[in-house]
Chain A
Amino acid sequence: GNSVTQMEGPVTLSEEAFLTINCTYTATGYPSLFWYVQYPGEGLQLLLKATKADDKGSNKGFEATYRKETTSFHLEKGSVQVSDSAVYFCALSDLPDRGSTLGRLYFGRGTQLTVWP
């Protein structure tokens, strides 16, 4: 089946530190991979995505590369800011089953990131 496992938090960093949040997945077929971010008191919003192997998604200084050989999609940022404090969710989307039009989104459990000034 499809599942996502991401690094347990919380992660606490000083401003300008390097960030890595690990994410690995199990999937049948060739899923698309996503990182979503949830800022305090808000809903989730898409941060970046990659739709095929070796694709790199990037946004707001964050990057993640779709690694099929290691079934991973680790999130990285070279220099975090206080404003990056949030919960980060790794997710995968499978293709719709034959006869179904639903491509489900499977979420990891989320990693809380706190950045101190």
Chain B
Amino acid sequence: IAGITQAPTSQILAAGRRMTLRCTQDMRHNAMYWYRQDLGLGLRLIHYSNTAGTTGKGEVPDGYSVSRANTDDFPLTLASAVPSQTSVYFCASSEIIGGPNTGELFFGEGSRLTVL
């Protein structure tokens, strides 16, 4: 089934450790995103990528980095995890930005991260 695959689905991590959340899509979408979802705050954009080879910062980029070496993969890295990064992380993708389907995002099932 086409879509977005995230891994791991859940992880408990000690503060200070490095962690990479993986995201792969098979829809050949140009744009990809990472959001974090926190109770009472909704979804907040961490980083995005318009196309392979480019990335940009969202609302809450501090403490996170991303790369986009190819169209399909968009990993999110926490270089040194802190407890405030405990959250549910969603990867998403969309078709060409600015086209008629702008705003129609396809989401993965999320990665629940707990930093102790």
- Taking beta carbons and an 8 Å cutoff, which residues of A are in contact with B? 32, 34, 36, 41-46, 49, 51, 89, 91-93, 95-96, 101-105, 107-110
Flag whether B90 is at the interface (Cβ < 8 A): yes
Chain B interface size range: 20 to 34
Closest to B96 in A: A101
Other-chain contact of B103, A41, A93, A101 (Cβ < 8 Å): A93
Given contacts A93-B103, A109-B41, 19 further A-B contacts (CB under 8 A): A32-B102, A42-B109, A42-B110, A43-B4, A43-B108, A44-B107, A45-B106, A51-B100, A89-B43, A93-B102, A96-B98, A101-B51, A103-B97, A104-B45, A105-B45, A105-B105, A107-B42, A107-B43, A109-B42
- Determine how close the nearest CB of chain A comes to the CB of B39; give it in whole angstroms: 9
For chains A and B in complex, what number of residue pairs have CB atoms within 8 angstroms? 64
- Evaluate contact between B105 and A46: CB separation under 8 angstroms: yes
Determine how close the nearest CB of chain A comes to the CB of B74; give it in whole angstroms. Answer: 14
Partner of B98, one of A89, A92, A95, A110: A95
Interface string of B27-39 (1 = CB under 8 A from A): 0000101000000
Whether A103 lies near B98 (C-beta < 8 A) is yes
- Chain B, residue nearest A34 (CB): B103
Question: Contact at A102–B31, with CB atoms within 8 Å?
Answer: yes
